Amino acid sequence: MEIVGMIIFWIFLIAGVVVIPFGIAGTFVIVADALVYALITGFDKITIPFLAVLLGIAVLMEIIEAAFGAVLARKYGGSKWAMAGAVMGGFIGAVLGTPVTPIIGTLLGAFIGAFLGASLLHGVSTGKWDDALTVGLGAFFGAVSGKVSKIIAAIVMVVMIGFRVF
């Protein structure tokens, strides 16, 4: 029975990484999986301080992922409205892209949504439509950077857990 439990444990760890492109907070799936393992094993290998570190990483990555599109939209000359548009557009795009094709559609939807949201809200709020494409491009790069950073962090979390468990 222990082998089955370990297989399920590792499936959830890997799933935590895989679901990130779908817009699901996979880092929290990883933390929850580690918590269940810790509870079952009496916090022998995965301790409360270690869980706190994992939770801190998960929270930080959520903030970083959300902020990347907004920050780069701003860096590329975007207004505060462009920053909000990048965040909202990325979320709406991911939701709309998921039914098209789950992984690719979600990612492309998030990236294109960040681009469109930042471009449109910047253009509407400032009237500077000539800058809107540049601002949207910054939001696009930010969305890509945020998602890739979160996936890398999730992989690091899984490796950290793997070193603890084995």
pLDDT surpassing 80 at residue 22: no
Residues 51-57 have a mean pLDDT of 98
Band of pLDDT at residue 30, cut at 50, 70 and 90: very high
At residue 33, the pLDDT reads 97
Q: For residues 66 and 114, which has the higher predicted lDDT (pLDDT)?
A: 114
At residue 8, the pLDDT reads 96
Nearest to 161 by CA among 42, 43, 50: 50
CB 116 within 8 A of CB 41: no
Q: How far apart are CA 19 and CA 38, in angstroms?
A: 22
At residue 107, the pLDDT reads 85
Nearby residues of 74 by Cβ (< 8 Å), 6 or more positions away = 80, 82, 83, 138
- What is the rounded average pLDDT for all residues in the chain? 92
User: 58-100: per-residue pLDDT in tens?
Assistant: 999 989 988 887 888 889 888 889 988 988 998 899 889 888 8
Q: How far apart are CA 53 and CA 71, in angstroms?
A: 25
At residue 6, the pLDDT reads 95
Indicate the number of domains in the chain: 1
**∠ at Cα 31 (28, 35), nearest 5°?**
140
At residue 67, the pLDDT reads 84
Nearby residues of 44 by Cβ (< 8 Å), 6 or more positions away = none
Q: For residues 21 and 139, which has the higher predicted lDDT (pLDDT)?
A: 139
Where residue 24 falls (left for φ over 0; alpha for ψ -120 to 50; beta otherwise) is: beta
Give the structural domain span for 116: 2-165
